[in-house]
Structure 1
Amino acid sequence: MIEMEQAKELQKKLASEGVEYCYASYVDVHGVSKAKCVPVSHLAQMMGGSELFTVGALEGMGLVGPHFDECAAVPDLASATILPWDKRYCWFASDMYFHGEPYANCSRVILKRAAEKAAARKLVFNLGIEPEFYVLRRDGDRLLPFQDEVFQGSTPAYDLHQTALAGPFLEELTHYVEELGWGLYSFDQEGGHGQFEIDFGYADVLTTADRLTFFRFMVKCIARKHGAVASFMPKPFSNDFRSGAHHNMSLMDMETKENLFDTSARPAGELAKSYGLDATDETLHFVAGLLDHAQALCVFTCPSYNSYKGLIAQGDMPDMSWAPVLQAYGRNNRSAMLRLPMNRPCIENRAPDMSANFYLSSALSLHAGLDGLDRKGDPGLPLNDNLYLARDIRSQGRNVHRLPRTLLEASDALDESSFARDVLGAEFVDIFVAQKRKEWDAQFYTVTTSERDRFLTAV
């Protein structure tokens, strides 16, 4: 009843601020946003579960078949976000409910369960994500960089002129990020032609996952206003950079507010000292958990067929990709999957890309890290060399493997993970694996024009 009263108060407040409509938004298994829109006068009823969705009609949500009842999308009032570019609308991240209970196969519900597991240990999982994406303009049948002057050189990364040319789009987007209070601290032209990165502050994991879900919606809407197309495809061009979404993770003690990974607040651990690292042992235990479950985790951090065209050392690119290829960790090493940055007390997973469902990628990351903490896991020696030059993976250490090369390989790793089935639910794992194998089949068995041109008369 208290929440319903809060909904009514928020309903009045939003109406007084000019809001006319409210979105109850959730994501499907692929991280794609779905929603119903109601008049602001209907917000309290929406909080009561009035908006129903036949989730069985959507891919990867379970309850398949016309005989199942619907799920209700119930908004989280704390996530209320008035659209900065159209203040008639308010967006809410929502949880799915089935027969009055949180729906077990809802991505946001899965993340909340993981966060509750940390809370039971008096811990808060904080997360910052570095979103990269392309903004392209149409030129007939071609998609070109948003800037109307082609960059001349090997890479446009950090190029001042290219950043300035994208001013109309970037200025509007970053103004809105600041208006939302997300703690914008930098933005730039990234390594790809027409690729950008917007960096803002970290928050607790649920808040960050909500923000990144809204961020993708916002970027697409603003790009469309400028006659452009925003793309979160991991690797849109074979000879250009992929769009990563590095996960920067830390654990905070609820009572002391200390970051368990920060040696300025806590002493360096004996295990860390033995490896020559200025890190807490909690950091290394968390790293060990992430490495132990990295193969299954990869299908959530890199969930599309196209993702694995980005997890390469070089490929068709003129220089190294800056994407990880080995399941390993290192001190400030950008060629490893996990990096311990020198300028911030966190663990950076460099594998995730912008196609991720951030509720799922962060949920299994948290479960894996907590497992490492519980077992006091040892990640082994850090690898601090250029791993792109490593030829013999077996010589690198006991916990070092090649990251999955394909979506099928990553899906199989999840399917075979008893740990993932335990923490995420066997039904959900079966649903997710089935979806990813279906995606693999659809892509793998398609004969492309370039393939036909190359091999039709080759033998």
Structure 2
Amino acid sequence: MIETKSDTEISAIQDDLKHKGVKYCMGTYVDIHGVPKGKIVPINHLHHMAHGSELYTGYALDGLGQAPNDDEIASVPDLDHIIQLPWQPEIAWMPADNTLYGKPYELNTRVLLKKILQQANAMGFGMNLGIEAEVYLLKKNEDGSLDIPDPDDKLKKPCYDTRAFLSNFSWVDKMVTSMNDLGWDVYSFDHEDANGQFEFDFQYADALTTCDRFTFLKMMAKEYAKQEDLLATFMPKPFSNRTGNGAHFNMSLYDLESGGNLFQCKPEDDPHGLGLTRLGYQFIAGILKHGPALCAVFAPTVNSYKRLVRQGDMPYFTWAPVFNSFGSNNRTNSVRVPMGGGRCESRNADGAVNPYLAAALVLAAGLEGIKENLDPGTPQESNLYELTEAQREELGIGFLPRTLAEAVDAFAADPFVEEVLGSELRNEFIRYKQAEWNEYHTAVSAWETERYSHLF
């Protein structure tokens, strides 16, 4: 049974929300793609919603399982993570967990993450997570094509461009003001590496809170863009000739009793000098052990692999994390230990990630690394793009999947995935992603028409 508040506690929350001007409660969970779904009830019905009054046909949703004749699933809002919509304060957004017959419904990825977090708690660990949010702010033309809204945002290397930043100040200011008003502590934001692209970095938190915030941030970015007659997209690779949208996962474990960072140590106490404890290296080893399978949830779309381009496919070095390897501040690794240590960063996560699903699977992989006392080996400090295939093989550095099809095959072949997700969620993910690949593979693109229609 998913726990909820007592009636007295719910009444107090209800009164507080009414005092803040809230009229409606939006209980929201995500489908397998991380897309929010839910129902809205008037504030006076919060008690009913909190006890699972809102029912859903799982068969009508992507990745929630069920057949047309199955009983409905319910959703129970998490009343500890309420967010009042900054742009529509009459509505309180509440992340929700699904239940079936009063028990947690584990095809819900937020429920899954809470389950894996409980396993970490049993080992004495909590998980902190920070997600770097990259997003394009674009205009949509009448023909449906996407374009950069600022005509002056044309630099070939637009990263950190202050002029382009100022041209989009209205939207950026709405985003940062709202995040700070919500207590997220934005500590940095900028015009990113591509024209029309921005990044927002806000303070890390426990994994569940960060996943909730990232889900809400995507909805908020789109709403504020709409107010500017623009489109905000977290699509991994909107343009073939521009940088993609990452959503790098920055992770550490903390001690449940003291709250101390269990990955942090002085660089002189670390044989590799990165400022990472043995526990941290074990965690990384678990990630690398299951790197190809994890790629399917970190980079879960056909479009994701237009971002993860290997050397040789482009005329210049990209920062694409295509190698199943780790190192220090070396961005040619898929896992790195940023300067100062104390955390590890998985760089192949992109803007299409379902944060709950990815966080659950990567945490389980890291915990396995700890349980099995795995060693990730020596950090890779070279530019891995410059190594020959023979040199990479000698170092034991493998490539991550190159397409969604390869990633799903790796996901399906790794027994660890079923152990963590259960057979139903595992099979749902495979089914949807294989269908996505097949649909893409049989579609005729504009590139093909342009190239072949007059050639043959």
- Quickly name the TM-score band, shorter chain normalised: over 0.9
1:302 to 299, 303, 307: 299
Aligned-partner residue type, residue 147 of structure 1: D
Partner of 1:41: 44
Indicate whether 1:122 and 2:135 are aligned. no
1:136 to 135, 138, 151: 138
Aligned-partner Cα distance in 2 for 1:82–1:176: 10
Partner of 2:215: 213
Indicate whether 1:369 and 2:369 are aligned. no
Q: Describe how 1:333-348 pairs up with structure 2 within 5 A.
A: 333-348=330-345
Provide, for residues 153-192 of structure 1, a one-character-per-residue CA deviation record: whole Å limited to 9, x for no partner.
3221001111111101101111001000001101100011
Q: Describe how 1:89-238 pairs up with structure 2 within 5 A.
A: 89-141=91-143, 142-151=145-154, 153-238=155-240
Per the alignment, do residues 255 and 229 of structure 1 end up closer, same or farther by CA in structure 2, a change over 3 Å counting? same
Provide, for residues 73-110 of structure 1, a one-character-per-residue CA deviation record: whole Å limited to 9, x for no partner.
11000111001111111000000000100101101001
Indicate whether 1:438 and 2:441 are aligned. no
Provide, for residues 248-272 of structure 1, a one-character-per-residue CA deviation record: whole Å limited to 9, x for no partner.
00000112322111114x9835xxx
Aligned-partner Cα distance in 2 for 1:363–1:155: 36
Whether the 8 Å contact between 2:63 and 2:428 is mirrored in structure 1 is yes
Let me know the Cα RMSD of the aligned residues. Answer: 1.8
Aligned-partner Cα distance in 2 for 1:249–1:394: 30
Aligned-partner Cα distance in 1 for 2:269–2:277: 5
Provide, for residues 187-228 of structure 1, a one-character-per-residue CA deviation record: whole Å limited to 9, x for no partner.
100011100000100000000000000111111111101110
Indicate whether 1:239 and 2:234 are aligned. no
Provide, for residues 105-146 of structure 1, a one-character-per-residue CA deviation record: whole Å limited to 9, x for no partner.
101001001100100011011000001010102343342223
Aligned-partner residue type, residue 102 of structure 2: G
After TM superposition, give the deviation of residue 365 of structure 1 in Å: 0.6
Indicate whether 1:21 and 2:15 are aligned. no
Aligned-partner Cα distance in 2 for 1:438–1:418: 21
Whether the 8 Å contact between 1:31 and 1:356 is mirrored in structure 2 is yes
Per the alignment, do residues 102 and 451 of structure 1 end up closer, same or farther by CA in structure 2, a change over 3 Å counting? same
Aligned-partner residue type, residue 81 of structure 2: S
Partner of 1:68: 70
After TM superposition, give the deviation of residue 427 of structure 1 in Å: 1.5
Aligned-partner residue type, residue 227 of structure 2: K
Partner of 1:268: 269
Q: Partner of 2:112: helix, strand, or coil?
A: helix
After TM superposition, give the deviation of residue 276 of structure 1 in Å: 5.3
Whether the 8 Å contact between 1:250 and 1:260 is mirrored in structure 2 is yes
Aligned-partner Cα distance in 2 for 1:389–1:451: 32
TM-score, length-scaled by structure 1? 0.95
Provide, for residues 360-391 of structure 1, a one-character-per-residue CA deviation record: whole Å limited to 9, x for no partner.
11110100000001111011121111112233
Whether the 8 Å contact between 1:238 and 1:316 is mirrored in structure 2 is no
Query: Gapped runs of 5+ residues in structure 1?
Result: none
Per the alignment, do residues 397 and 20 of structure 1 end up closer, same or farther by CA in structure 2, a change over 3 Å counting? farther
1:405 to 399, 402, 407: 402
1:453 to 442, 445, 450: 450
Indicate whether 1:420 and 2:417 are aligned. yes
Query: Gapped runs of 5+ residues in structure 2?
Result: none
Aligned-partner Cα distance in 1 for 2:213–2:274: 33
Aligned-partner Cα distance in 1 for 2:5–2:32: 31
Whether the 8 Å contact between 1:292 and 1:399 is mirrored in structure 2 is no
Per the alignment, do residues 453 and 126 of structure 1 end up closer, same or farther by CA in structure 2, a change over 3 Å counting? same
Per the alignment, do residues 369 and 53 of structure 1 end up closer, same or farther by CA in structure 2, a change over 3 Å counting? same
Q: Partner of 1:85: helix, strand, or coil?
A: coil
After TM superposition, give the deviation of residue 423 of structure 1 in Å: 1.4
Partner of 2:54: 51
Q: Partner of 2:231: helix, strand, or coil?
A: strand
Partner of 2:309: 312
Whether the 8 Å contact between 1:147 and 1:165 is mirrored in structure 2 is yes
Partner of 2:377: 380
Per the alignment, do residues 180 and 449 of structure 1 end up closer, same or farther by CA in structure 2, a change over 3 Å counting? same
Aligned-partner residue type, residue 3 of structure 1: S
After TM superposition, give the deviation of residue 303 of structure 1 in Å: 0.3
2:81 to 66, 79, 82: 79
Q: Partner of 1:41: helix, strand, or coil?
A: helix
After TM superposition, give the deviation of residue 148 of structure 1 in Å: 3.9
Aligned-partner Cα distance in 2 for 1:285–1:166: 43
